[in-house]
Structures are given as C-alpha cells and as structure tokens.
Structure 1
Amino acid sequence: MICQIKESFDLRINIDKLFIDIHTHLKFLINRLMFHSQASDLFYGEIKKKYPLAYQLASKASTILENLFNYPIESSEISYLALYFEMGLREIDNSLSYEQRKIAVVCTTGRGTATMINRQLRRVLGNEIVIDQYSEETFNPNKAERYSAIFTTIPLKLQHLSTPVIQITNLFDDHWLRNQWEEANKWKQNKFQWIESKLMYLTIQNHYFDYLSEMSNFLYQEEDVDIAFYQRILKREEKQSTIFGNNIAFPHTTHPNSKVIFLVGILEEPYESELGKVDFIFMLAIPDKVNSQIESELLSLYDDIFRIANNSELKKELKSIKTIEAFHSLIQDKGVLE
C-alpha cells in the first residue's frame, strides 16, 4: 500500500520508517473495518484543510483498504491516517531545510570584525548554521543559490540575485537580526525557483487522453519536454488514473530537463469521466534528477494543488483567468502559493 502511494506521487518517503510509525494504527483500523466500526472525528475536518497533500495520500491509502475490505472508510479515519503521512512528509522537508541552513557573509572589514560578525550571527541564529565568509572581490554571485541568505556590511553591486541579501545596519540588535533571518527564510521557502508555470485553455475533446496529448504537445512545442514525454504520461496512466476527484486531474512524469514545468490546463467544458468530472488538469514535468531544493518545492506544490482542489470558491474563480500571472495573483490572494 505504502509503496503504491509513493510511486503515485513521486515522493522520497522513508517507507521503513513510515511503516514502523503507522503499522500499529493500521492494525486497529483493520480491526475496526472488520467489525464495521470507525473512529469519531476529533479534528472536525481541520486535517483536510491544514494538510491537503497528507490527506490526499491518506485518501489513496483508504481507497486501497476499501477495496480489500469492501467497506467504505469515513473521513474521520482518513484524517487519522493523514497525520502519519504528514509526519513522513515533514521528515523529508526538515532534512531538506537543514541542508539549506547556510549563509554567506560578505564584508570588506578586517579579520577581527569578520570574526565578531560570525560569532554574533551564530549566537542569534544558532550553532547549526553554516557560515561562509567572503570579501566583495571573492564572492561569486553565481553560487548565491546555495545560501539561504547573504549578510553584508556593504551595499553589494549585484542585481537579480535569487537569494535574499541583508545589509547589516546594527550587528548587536538581536531582535533585528532574528527578524531579518526569519524574513529571509520565509522568502526562500515561498519562492519557487525551480518551477516554471504555464497556462493554457483546452477546447472540448472526446477523451481524457486527448487532453493529455494536447498539453504534452504544447510543452514539446515550447521545448520544455522531450518527444517521449507523452508516452511516459500514458504509461503512468495505464498503472493508475491521475483523475483525483474534486474536479481536478494531476498527470505527472519525468523529463530530462533541469526544471520542473507546471502546466495549468483549464477546460472549456467539464470532462465527464467514470472517476468524476474534470475542470482543471495540472500537468507536471519533473526532472529525472532532482536536488533537495526541487524536492522541497515539489512538496509545497503538491500541497497547493490539493489545497486548490478542496476550495470550491477558488476553482470557480480560476475558470475565468486568462494569464498565468492572473493565476498566481488569484491563488496568492486566497492564501495558496503564498
């Protein structure tokens, strides 16, 4: 069950660790299913709102169990399962976040002052922070992405850096330093650096695969994916449909390029399938090789996709947008992809 879920969503979940955490709960859940008795919902639907990706993983697991026991599983049980998946996802995200806790200090002062800056930053930000020190001449802006933030004592004559640059105005103001670091982390976490978003409107087609073909061909014409991308999409669909309910479909597979391509397809008319109606197709092309930053951004994107799926008002407004900029503006206003 867990292996099937991992394959469906291309996640690097630690299967052994998750099984250890979840197996006792599953034993009690199976007993409840056998006797047609299910747990009451102590969370009142909040788990689905707060952890949309984990809830979707739990829903997938519940479907497998429903087929095994030929008995429907209530949302309360799905919520409890979702907590275990959320813990597994957080382990991934925490390990990725730890890798990113690295800052650069750029200054023109002497070694004594530089040492004092490093010591103060460690005192305020924590000893686990990795600090690399540079002069203005030795700092390489092409390597800025490896840092969560760049602290500097001078105005850097560099533009368009993808990493937040913080000019130190008061080294001994702990509160100011901590606030700047928190803002830098927030900026870093919320900005999709490896994901390129695109939008297209889809005219009426006879079959779901026809929509997938149109979208795949669009990405190929844009030189975002290789010619075999559509065949890989179909191969994944043969294993399991990516129509997830709640009016969305989420086809995804790998491609040889280095960036994640996120194509939002808005259907002119809803497509009716055996698995439910489809108004939106979120197609994702994932690089064959992903680094820790890509993995972290994908987790955030998955969460956002299922957060959209669970928001009826947002989906209604999405039907009228015309540009990818309008798409981002709308979902940010609604608290998604912040």
Structure 2
Amino acid sequence: MTARDAILALGQRIGQSIIGQDTMVERLLLGLMANGHLLVEGLPGLAKTRAIKSLAKNLDSSLSRVQFTPDLLPADITGSDIYVSDGSKSAFQFQQGPIFANLILADEINRAPAKVQSALLEAMEERQVTVGGKSYKLPELFMVMATQNPIEQEGTYQLPEAQLDRFLMHIEVGYPDEASEAAIMRLNRDEENASQQPEKPDPQERLNPQVIFEARAQIGNVSMAEPVEKYIVALVFATRYPARYDKELASLLQVGVSPRGVIGLDRVSRAHAWLQGRDYVTPDDVKAVVHDVFRHRLILSYEAHAANTTANQVIDRVVELVAVS
C-alpha cells in the first residue's frame, strides 16, 4: 500500500465516526500532511473534539487534551521544574506537561488569558519549549488542534494576531445535512449498545507515523509551475494592496496576509494536489484551500464590520479579482 492509499484509508476510517463533516476530515489530513497546526471554529456538538480523538485512535500516536480555562497557568501546558529528594541527593527535575504529545487538543483556547495562550507560541513555531532557561524538544510528529466557539464572547479572550498567524489553517465547521443528522443518531445509538457489550479488540492496525513522514517527503516533491506560484503571490498581494484591484475591496481590508500565508498556501496546495493523486499543483488546488489559509490572517476594516462583511466574502472577492497569469 502506498503512502497516499494509507492516508486515504485513514481518512475513510475517521469519516466513519465523523459523519457529515467531510471537509473537516480532509482539512485534518491536510494539516497533518503539511506539518501545520489547525484552529477549528464551530458551535458545540459538531464533532471537533471527536475528530482529533478519532485521528489519534487510528494513528499510532499520543494525544493530550488541554481544557483551557481562565485559571490555567502556562506551566500547566509546558510542564515545570519540580524539587525531587531521594534522601541522599536533591535536585530540580523537569516534569513534562501535556504539550509533550504527538497530537494536542487545545479545547476552547479562547477561554484562557493571553499569557497561557502564548505558552503555545514557541511550541507551535519552534517545536520546543523552554523552562528554567533550558529547551526541550517536542516529538517529531506534532500537531496542535485548537477549538473555539464562534458565538460565545463572555469570559473569552481573543487570540492575538501573532498567535493566529501560527495556525496553518482556520477551519469553520457547520451543521451536517438531514441525511447525516439521521446517520449520526443511528451511530450514537449503535455506540451506546456496543458499550454495554464485552469489549472486543480492534482488528484495525493503527497507522505507523512513518507513513506520515513518507507522505510529507512526497509532498515536498510535488511541483508547482511558475504561473501558479505567481498566482499565489498575487492573491497575497491583493490583500495587502487591495486598492490596486478594487476601491471597494480596499475599504474592507485593514491588514493583509503575512508571509506565513504565502508559505502556508504553498504547503497546503501541494498537499491537496498530492491527496488528489497529482504530482503538480493547479490553480484549482489553490482555490480549494485559500479560504482556510487566509481566513484568520486578514484584519477587516471598521467599514467591513459595520456592513457585516465576513472574511470569507472578502476572500471570495479577492479570488474573483485576481486572474491566473
């Protein structure tokens, strides 16, 4: 079985327990393949937590769930030095926090203050944490998936732009359709019945992380023609200098996409092309993921907020205005 076949099979197994959220499952795989972190936003009960739990269940990896609360401390995430005495000798030893896992679920990340949110910054960017002046490397397979509720404002702390920029993609999760809703109800009923039966061993082998690294190497070799590269750069520059394209667009944007957005769109577009079975990127690959890569990197103007214009609508306009060279 090739690496691509193994990844597609992984997606299918996750999809069996995450019904009606095919886009979220695909974006979860893209984030894993592109070696980036995900910010998932959606109302409660839309399988955000279940998705990464299902990924950890089917992948030979460790999972840590951190419930972000206002009283959480940075050391609760990174770990801290503790004083250990064995009678004859005493010393401080570093006790690892939950960040030292392959998959990290930062649940309701906007419920913790900025000093706690910032504890993730070094881990997400440098893949290490520094405690007591000493740095500790994180696992080679490492991905943070943070969740937040889009409608709750009381008792929450907005993520700073510097941290938002560290997320490769911002995924919006909506309600499933009617057929999926009925399937979810039946799945939940079956799981409740199964929980009352004697536990049986899972015959399905968990995917070896080495397959992920092999896939990443293959994605690195996916080619991108110069016109597609120019198209990506043009999309980014249209958010930075919108007046060159459209006066109305210029009135909606305050700050455009950072250089991390260029890098992110390149990586995710190549991962998307690879999942589609191609060794080259097309403009359609770019268009398929541009909303997820740009959505959290745009700062809209007061006029946009006053007109209830969303980031998705602004990105739609950017894609409409920028032509493939």
Length-normalised TM-score, structure 2: 0.24
Length-normalised TM-score, structure 1: 0.23
> Which structure's CA Rg is the greater one?
1
Higher relative contact order (CA 8 A, sep 6+): 2
